[in-house]
């Protein structure tokens, strides 16, 4: 019964999406200053639709919570013996459920937009909501016709098949929902860009409406990618944190586009420049999200992280892609030429630096896209190739290094036009840090080029991030500026972690007999014992490894080799010892015939900084949103006070109303 | 003003991708990695017997006439499925030299006792060295080796009844 | 989308329990070379070789038995004095470009290298157009 309510809610939501689309489109036909009678339904339709889509998701969540085995999806992906947390998170640990979450977030974003955004002209808002409804409709259709999560079994299953053990982890609770919210949040930027393009309202006011959405989606994407990277790092058992796997690239590409968009929308809001560019990036960012959905779910590419794939669903999503991305690019090609270019600026200016970085981000995006899709192209000619880290790292660095250098200087530049001579000291400082740190590290040993560059850049960026605060009263610095400083500093922190991991990691693989001791870096580790342990739906062999640093007090690490029985799979659970300056990562493997155990241990200096940096970057984004919202609220209350005062004065019959703004 | 033509580039790129993706969706997904050693001479190897009942295998054994080189293992389930087909090939006079991958003598003997023994010789490849040397990436796989010791054909996966004539034909071609 | 780990769903790490051999791994599958310099060479190479039984993982990141045997080949060949490039070429001769994550310039991979060069040119072009001629036609003057 509950599941049928969910299904009905989904159908109703789809019907409302049609209404939202038609009503939104009707507002375009209204004469200047008038309101089309049909147009008033768009906002309520979006809001009610959001409730219905979320309701559908909640009913599925409930079905998983109570393990309703008459639902096909629950029977094939859940198990009554699973811990409650994994029953709930298992809701989106499969294709249909995750797609419903995707659609739920899409509708919720549309609802929020319709409910709270009052600044846009009605026609632009109508067009935006029409586009949002159109996008949502396609994905409702995909759910209802090709991936129905509420399908019943003719006969309820006696027991469920269980969830892939690798997904039975707290990571599943955090990573997918955050990432989805980010991907789908970009749909609002997409709709706004299309709405503004269709109604020719590409201006700073529009940019100010778009900015919080872009920032919000970007923060969630950053957090989602950071969480996913850490999850893969500890769950896969080999200490890797980024593999340039197609699915990972699919999450990186929207982030790159959103990062560029976020900067470009700021330029548009502040300086009325980069109009076409902002629209292009708005379309591109969500297009990359949809492209990712296609790549992951169609099975055209081989990935460690892929879903159970289905070419028929792939064809459906490809059709949607053609409709939305193809349609958006067509409108872009037809309309963007008519968008005036916007304000001009000099090469050496804040805008100039932002344009440079946007172009570099786009170039990195192009490289990632090329490397990800290239195997698909060659397979069309029956040639199989692999493109991996040895390609992506250097090819990406060609653009990332200049971008990071300009990023260090950009925030110090003035808008519109500046003179390099003004920044002599800062430029010298940045150059000295890059060269100095690289020289210093080279003095101590031989390291690969990229980590070396990374260390130099990280040092320079960490200092440069705070230079915009130089000579300012820190209490007067706007919150949004703090956001920028912290996000840029986060890049430096993350880069430092990546470079250290790349340059200084140590690995020790050893067959150890119980009681045996091995050494890695400053750490001595002793395999004390290996004992069987049992969990709710698994049994495991657990190693007790005593780790002591420089002969200090030992700490016990307990990596496990787990065997799940439903589905029958084995996983290795790594054990981590986190120090301020790095992580010790231990995994237990098989037992050899002579009774010794395979132990893998890594010492990864400062590896945690990769994710701390990610969190800082996201925090910077949150501050930027908070700062903008605060300014906005102040401005609105000032405006309403001013209007109030004018009205009062007029009522008093005063001669000269004083403008309050 | 920028040229209008440039504005169509994103659409053109997307259309190219969509066409490619649409085409690839209709193609069966390539599951296997094919060996690129076809036409090359068999690399030199000499493997110990996989169990006491049959001699081991070496490159030198591939002389006289075209033979089949079958890579299998007692722990591999599809190998059970292909056992009758190998026997059928052997019954038609095909000489099959086996390579047992990462296997134990007792398991090999047990498997052959249960599912029949079509092999003339079986070498034991405990660390996949011969498998890697000939570009095989799974079990079971079957190679046609001609009388000069040149790899002529690779069959990936278990041999179904329908594959038997195919392999006989390949052996014929390798004469 | 979910990717990544939702995903991690897959195979390789969580191998089905059946259809697996119980043999001890090859000597150098899980053991390092004694010489740290040689081990570093081997490790760098292993991270760029594809595990053929896995879904997009390097042999340095996989527990699949075949990945272990490939690691053994890499380490023992390095120990025997072969260079990493020789080993890569040896493997490519057997499995084609698919086995190496490091594409080499060839008739099938040249666009991977040509397109980035093209991107650099486009980037330079865009930057020159957007930034290069600004100063001359800055219509608002230089008052700032």
Q: Is A187 helix (H, G, I), strand (E, B) or coil?
A: helix
Sequence-separated (6 or more) residues with CB below 8 Å from residue A239: A233, A505, A507, A574, A585, A602, A604
Out of C18, C22, C53, name the one closest to residue B138 (CB): C53
Contact C99 B33 (CB under 8 A): yes
Residues of chain C contacting B126 with CB distance shorter than 8 Å: 23, 26
pLDDT at B3: 57
A657 DSSP assignment: P
A269-294: average pLDDT: 92
Instruction: Give the tens place of pLDDT for each residue, A514-528.
Output: 999 999 989 999 999
Q: Where are the alpha helices (DSSP H) in A118-203?
A: 122-141, 170-198
Residues recorded for chain C = 144
pLDDT at A594: 84
Asked if the model's pLDDT at residue C16 lies above 70, the reply is no
Matching residue, tokens 């200096």: A605
Using a CB–CB cutoff of 8 Å, tell me whether C99 touches chain B.
Answer: yes
Nearest one of A422, A102, A592 to C144, comparing CA atoms:
A422
Is residue A77 within 8 Å of A114, Cβ to Cβ? no
Q: Please give, one letter per residue, the 3-state secondary structure of chain C.
A: CCHHHHCCCCCCCCCECCCCCCCCCCCCCCCCCCCHHHHHHHHHHHCCEECCCCCCCEHHHCCCHHHHHHHHHHHHHHHCCCCHHHHHHHHHHHHCHHHECCCCCCCCCHHHHHHHHHHHHHHHHHHHHHHHCHHHHCCCCCCC
pLDDT at C9: 39
Contact B8 A322 (CB under 8 A): no
pLDDT at A153: 92
Instruction: Give the tens place of pLDDT for each residue, A213-231.
Output: 999 999 999 999 999 999 9
Residues linked to residue A546 through DSSP beta bridges, in sequence order: A526, A556
Contact A333 B27 (CB under 8 A): no
Alpha-carbon torsion A520, A521, A525, A530, what sign? Answer: negative
Rg (CA), chain C: 23
Contact C127 A511 (CB under 8 A): no
Contact B103 C23 (CB under 8 A): yes
Instruction: Give the tens place of pLDDT for each residue, B121-130.
Output: 999 999 999 9
Task: Count the neighbouring beta carbons within 10 Å of the beta carbon of residue A528.
Answer: 15
**Most confident of the ranges A213-217, A561-565, B62-66, C23-27:** A213-217
Sequence-separated (6 or more) residues with CB below 8 Å from residue A7: A56, A148, A150
Sequence-separated (6 or more) residues with CB below 8 Å from residue A188: A109, A110, A113, A132, A213, A217
Sequence-separated (6 or more) residues with CB below 8 Å from residue A590: A561, A597, A598, C24, C25
Report how far residue A620's alpha carbon sits from residue A215's, in angstroms, rounded to the nearest whole number.
Answer: 10
pLDDT at A179: 93
A65-72: average pLDDT: 92
Higher-pLDDT residue of C79, B29: C79
pLDDT at B5: 82
Using a CB–CB cutoff of 8 Å, tell me whether B8 touches chain A.
Answer: yes
Higher-pLDDT residue of A445, B14: B14
pLDDT at B118: 93
Mutate to test the interface with C, among B9, B132, B136 (most CBs of C within 10 A): B132
Instruction: Give the tens place of pLDDT for each residue, C72-98.
Output: 999 999 999 999 999 999 999 999 999
Using a CB–CB cutoff of 8 Å, tell me whether C80 touches chain B.
Answer: no
Nearest one of A127, A284, A153, A134 to A209, comparing CA atoms:
A127
Contact A418 C144 (CB under 8 A): yes
Provide the phi-psi class of A190: left if phi over 0, else alpha when psi is between -120 and 50, else beta.
Answer: alpha
Is residue A107 within 8 Å of A136, Cβ to Cβ? yes
Is residue C31 within 8 Å of A509, Cβ to Cβ? yes
Residues recorded for chain A = 661
Sequence-separated (6 or more) residues with CB below 8 Å from residue A267: A273, A274, A278, A350, A351, A354, A355
- Mean pLDDT (chain B) is 91
Q: How far lies A262's CA from each of A213, A396, A485, in Å?
A: 9, 20, 15
pLDDT at B112: 93
Contact A329 B11 (CB under 8 A): yes
Is residue A273 within 8 Å of A351, Cβ to Cβ? yes
Decide the pairing of beta strands B141-145 and B67-72: antiparallel
Instruction: Read off φ and ψ for residue A613, nearest 5 degrees.
Output: -60, -45
Residues of chain B contacting A297 with CB distance shorter than 8 Å: none
Residues of chain B contacting A376 with CB distance shorter than 8 Å: 20-21, 24
Task: Count the neighbouring beta carbons within 10 Å of the beta carbon of residue A470.
Answer: 9
Using a CB–CB cutoff of 8 Å, tell me whether C48 touches chain A.
Answer: yes
pLDDT at A330: 94
Q: At what angle do helices A350-379 and B9-26 cross, to 10 degrees?
A: 30
* Class of residue B112 by CB neighbours under 10 A (exposed 0-12, middle 13-18, buried 19+): buried
Using a CB–CB cutoff of 8 Å, tell me whether A318 touches chain B.
Answer: yes
Using a CB–CB cutoff of 8 Å, tell me whether C93 touches chain A.
Answer: no
How many percent of chain C have pLDDT more than 70?
76
Contact B25 A318 (CB under 8 A): yes
Instruction: Give the tens place of pLDDT for each residue, C23-49.
Output: 788 888 888 899 989 999 999 999 999
Provide the phi-psi class of C3: left if phi over 0, else alpha when psi is between -120 and 50, else beta.
Answer: left
Using a CB–CB cutoff of 8 Å, tell me whether C49 touches chain B.
Answer: no
C96 Cα to chain B: minimum distance (Å): 6
Tokens of B105: 């003598």
Residues of chain C contacting A385 with CB distance shorter than 8 Å: 97-98, 103, 108-109
Is residue A329 within 8 Å of A283, Cβ to Cβ? yes
pTM: 0.92
pLDDT at B125: 93
Report how far residue B23's alpha carbon sits from residue A318's, in angstroms, rounded to the nearest whole number.
Answer: 11
Under the banding of pLDDT at 50, 70 and 90, the label for residue C135 is very low
Using a CB–CB cutoff of 8 Å, tell me whether A380 touches chain C.
Answer: no
Residues 262-301 of A with CB under 8 A from B: 276, 280, 283-284, 287, 294, 298-300
Is residue A234 within 8 Å of A557, Cβ to Cβ? no
Least confident stretch, A116-125, A407-416, B25-34: B25-34
Contact B11 A326 (CB under 8 A): yes
Out of A164, A390, A590, name the one closest to residue C102 (CB): A390
C11 Cα to chain A: minimum distance (Å): 7
pLDDT at A304: 67
Out of A300, A329, A337, name the one closest to residue B4 (CB): A337
Q: Is A659 helix (H, G, I), strand (E, B) or coil?
A: coil
Contact C96 B34 (CB under 8 A): yes
**Which H/E stretch holds residue A91?**
none
pLDDT at A329: 95
Residues of chain A contacting C32 with CB distance shorter than 8 Å: 507-510
Asked if the model's pLDDT at residue A94 lies above 50, the reply is yes
Q: Residue ranges of the domains in chain B?
A: 46-173
C97 Cα to chain A: minimum distance (Å): 5
Using a CB–CB cutoff of 8 Å, tell me whether A396 touches chain C.
Answer: no
Look up the CATH superfamily of B46-173.
Glutaredoxin (3.40.30.10)
Least confident stretch, A51-60, A328-337, C1-10: C1-10
Under the banding of pLDDT at 50, 70 and 90, the label for residue B15 is very high
Residues of chain C contacting A183 with CB distance shorter than 8 Å: 1
Contact B102 C23 (CB under 8 A): yes
Out of C50, C99, C138, name the one closest to residue A344 (CB): C138
Under the banding of pLDDT at 50, 70 and 90, the label for residue A32 is low
Report how far residue A496's alpha carbon sits from residue B97's, in angstroms, rounded to the nearest whole number.
Answer: 56
Provide the phi-psi class of A445: left if phi over 0, else alpha when psi is between -120 and 50, else beta.
Answer: left
Sequence-separated (6 or more) residues with CB below 8 Å from residue A14: A137, A140, A141, A144
Using a CB–CB cutoff of 8 Å, tell me whether B52 touches chain A.
Answer: no
B142-162: average pLDDT: 92
Chain C residue with CA closest to B80: the answer is C19
pLDDT at A570: 84
**Which H/E stretch holds residue B100?**
strand B96-101
Q: Is B167 helix (H, G, I), strand (E, B) or coil?
A: helix
Q: How many CA atoms lie within 13 A of C113 on its CB side?
A: 10
Out of B18, B23, B27, name the one closest to residue A322 (CB): B18
Contact A236 C100 (CB under 8 A): no
Residues of chain A contacting B18 with CB distance shorter than 8 Å: 318, 321-322, 326
A37-43: average pLDDT: 84
Is residue A603 within 8 Å of A582, Cβ to Cβ? yes
pLDDT at A33: 65
Using a CB–CB cutoff of 8 Å, tell me whether C79 touches chain B.
Answer: no
Q: What angle (nearest 5°) sits at the alpha carbon of residue A60, between those of residues A59 and A65?
A: 95
Using a CB–CB cutoff of 8 Å, tell me whether C20 touches chain A.
Answer: no
Task: Count the neighbouring beta carbons within 10 Å of the beta carbon of residue A286.
Answer: 29
Q: How far lies A104's CA from each of A10, A137, A282, A283, A649, in Å?
A: 10, 12, 21, 21, 49
Least confident stretch, A31-40, A82-91, A211-220, A356-365: A31-40
Q: Is A644 helix (H, G, I), strand (E, B) or coil?
A: helix
How many percent of chain A have pLDDT more than 70?
97
Q: How far lies C16's CA from each of A87, B94, C57, in Å?
A: 22, 35, 17
pLDDT at A29: 79
Tokens of A93: 């640990």
Is residue A126 within 8 Å of A24, Cβ to Cβ? yes
Chains with 3 or more CB pairs under 8 A to chain A: B, C
Report how far residue A292's alpha carbon sits from residue B69's, in angstroms, rounded to the nearest whole number.
Answer: 43
C90 Cα to chain A: minimum distance (Å): 16
Instruction: Read off φ and ψ for residue A403, nearest 5 degrees.
Output: -60, -45
Using a CB–CB cutoff of 8 Å, tell me whether C73 touches chain B.
Answer: yes
How many percent of chain B have pLDDT more than 70?
98
Residues of chain A contacting C27 with CB distance shorter than 8 Å: none
Contact A305 C12 (CB under 8 A): no
C5 Cα to chain B: minimum distance (Å): 22
pLDDT at C20: 61
Asked if the model's pLDDT at residue C11 lies above 80, the reply is no
Decide the pairing of beta strands B96-101 and B67-72: parallel
Q: Is A496 helix (H, G, I), strand (E, B) or coil?
A: helix
DSSP string, B10-63: HHHHHHHHHHHHHHHHHSPPP-SPPPS-TTSBPPP-EE-BSSTTS--EEGGGS-
Chain B residue with CA closest to A283: the answer is B10
Higher-pLDDT residue of A59, B138: A59
A200-221: average pLDDT: 92
Asked whether this complex has an ipTM greater than 0.85, the answer is yes
Asked if the model's pLDDT at residue A654 lies above 60, the reply is no
Using a CB–CB cutoff of 8 Å, tell me whether B2 touches chain A.
Answer: yes
Contact C94 B132 (CB under 8 A): yes
């Amino acid at each position: 019964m509950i599941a049928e309510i969910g299904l009905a809610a989904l159908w109703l939501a789809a019907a409302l999406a049609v209404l939202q689309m038609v009503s939104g489109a009707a507002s375009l036909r209204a004469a200047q200053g008038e309101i089309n009678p049909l147009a008033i339904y768009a906002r309520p339709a979006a809001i009610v639709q959001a409730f219905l889509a979320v309701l559908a998701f909640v009913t599925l969540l409930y079905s998983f919570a109570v393990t309703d085995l008459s639902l096909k999806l629950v029977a094939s992906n859940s198990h009554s013996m699973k811990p409650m947390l994994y029953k709930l998170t298992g809701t989106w640990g499969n294709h249909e459920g995750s797609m419903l979450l995707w659609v739920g977030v899409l509708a919720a974003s549309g609802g929020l937009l319709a409910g709270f955004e009052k600044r846009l002209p009605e026609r632009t808002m109508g067009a935006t909501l029409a586009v949002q409804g159109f996008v949502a409709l396609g994905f409702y259709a995909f759910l209802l016709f090709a991936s129905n999560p509420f399908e019943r079994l003719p006969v309820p299953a006696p027991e469920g098949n269980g969830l892939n053990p690798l997904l039975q982890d707290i990571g599943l609770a955090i990573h997918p929902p955050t990432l989805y919210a980010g991907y789908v949040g970009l749909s609002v930027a997409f709709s706004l860009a299309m709405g503004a393009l269709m109604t020719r309202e590409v201006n700073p006011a529009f940019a100010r409406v778009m900015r919080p959405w872009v920032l919000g989606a970007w923060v969630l994407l950053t957090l989602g990618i950071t969480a996913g990277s850490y999850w893969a790092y500890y769950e896969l058992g080999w200490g890797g944190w980024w593999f340039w796997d197609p699915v990972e690239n699919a999450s990186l590409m929207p982030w790159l586009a959103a990062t560029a968009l976020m900067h470009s929308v700021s330029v548009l809001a502040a300086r009325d420049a980069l109009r076409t560019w902002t629209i292009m990036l708005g379309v591109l960012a969500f297009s990359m999200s949809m492209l990712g959905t296609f790549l992951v779910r169609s099975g055209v590419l081989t990935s460690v992280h892929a879903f159970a794939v289905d070419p028929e669903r792939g064809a459906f999503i490809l059709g949607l892609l053609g409709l939305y991305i193809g349609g958006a690019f067509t409108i872009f090609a037809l309309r963007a030429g008519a968008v005036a270019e916007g304000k001009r600026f000099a090469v050496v200016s804040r805008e100039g630096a932002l344009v440079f970085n946007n172009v570099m981000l786009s170039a990195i995006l192009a490289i990632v896209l090329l490397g990800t899709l290239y195997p698909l192209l060659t397979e069309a000619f029956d040639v199989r190739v692999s493109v991996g880290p040895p390609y992506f790292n250097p090819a990406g660095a060609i653009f990332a290094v200049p971008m990071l250098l300009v990023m260090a200087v950009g925030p110090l530049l003035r808008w519109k036009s500046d003179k390099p001579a003004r920044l002599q000291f800062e430029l010298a400082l940045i150059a000295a840090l890059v060269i100095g740190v690289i020289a210093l590290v080279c003095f101590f040993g031989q390291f690969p080029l990229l980590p070396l560059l990374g260390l130099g850049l990280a040092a320079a960026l960490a200092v440069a991030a705070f230079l915009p605060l130089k000579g300012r009263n820190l209490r007067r610095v706007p919150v949004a500026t703090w956001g920028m400083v912290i996000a840029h500093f986060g890049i430096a922190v993350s880069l430092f972690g990546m470079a250290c991991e790349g340059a200084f990691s140590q690995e020790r693989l050893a067959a150890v007999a119980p009681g045996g001791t091995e050494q890695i870096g400053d750490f001595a580790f002793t395999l004390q014992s290996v004992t069987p342990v049992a969990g709710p739906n698994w049994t495991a062999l657990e190693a007790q490894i005593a780790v002591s640093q420089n002969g200090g007090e030992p700490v016990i690490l307990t990596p496990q080799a787990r065997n799940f029985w439903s589905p029958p799979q084995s996983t290795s659970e790594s054990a981590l010892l986190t120090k301020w300056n790095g992580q010790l990562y231990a995994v237990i493997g098989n037992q050899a015939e002579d009774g010794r155990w395979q132990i893998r241990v890594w010492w990864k200096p400062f590896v945690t900084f990769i994710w701390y940096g990610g969190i800082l970057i996201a925090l910077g984004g949150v501050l930027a949103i908070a700062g903008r919202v605060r300014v906005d609220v102040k401005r609105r209350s000032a405006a309403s006070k001013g209007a109030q005062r004018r009205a009062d004065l007029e009522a008093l019959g005063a001669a000269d109303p004083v403008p309050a703004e | 003003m920028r040229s209008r033509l440039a504005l169509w580039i994103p659409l053109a790129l997307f259309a190219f991708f969509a066409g490619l993706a649409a085409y690839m969706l209709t193609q069966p997904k390539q599951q296997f990695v094919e060996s690129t050693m076809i036409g090359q001479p068999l690399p030199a190897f000499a493997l110990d017997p996989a169990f006491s009942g049959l001699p081991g295998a070496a490159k030198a054994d591939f002389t006289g006439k075209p033979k089949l080189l079958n890579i299998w293992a007692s722990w591999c389930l599809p190998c059970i499925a292909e056992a009758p087909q190998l026997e059928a090939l052997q019954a038609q006079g095909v000489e099959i030299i086996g390579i047992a991958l990462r296997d134990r003598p007792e398991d090999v003997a047990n498997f052959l006792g249960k599912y029949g023994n079509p092999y003339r010789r079986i070498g034991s490849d405990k660390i996949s060295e011969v498998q890697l040397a000939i570009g095989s990436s799974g079990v079971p796989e079957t190679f046609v080796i001609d009388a000069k010791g040149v790899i002529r054909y690779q069959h990936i996966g278990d041999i179904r009844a329908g594959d038997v004539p195919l392999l006989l034909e390949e052996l014929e071609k390798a004469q | 989308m979910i990717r990544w780990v939702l995903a991690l769903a897959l195979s390789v790490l969580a191998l089905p329990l059946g259809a697996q051999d119980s043999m001890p791994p090859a000597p150098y599958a899980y053991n390092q070379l004694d010489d740290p310099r040689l081990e570093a060479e081997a490790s760098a190479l292993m991270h760029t070789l594809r595990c053929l039984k896995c879904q997009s993982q390097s042999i340095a990141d996989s527990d699949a038995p075949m990945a272990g045997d490939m690691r053994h080949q890499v380490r023992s060949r390095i120990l025997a004095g072969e260079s990493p490039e020789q080993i890569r070429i040896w493997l490519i001769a057997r499995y084609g470009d698919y086995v190496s994550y490091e594409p080499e310039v060839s008739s099938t991979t040249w666009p991977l290298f040509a397109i980035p060069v093209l991107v650099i040119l486009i980037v330079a072009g865009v930057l020159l157009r957007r930034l290069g001629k600004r100063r001359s036609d800055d219509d608002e003057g230089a008052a700032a």
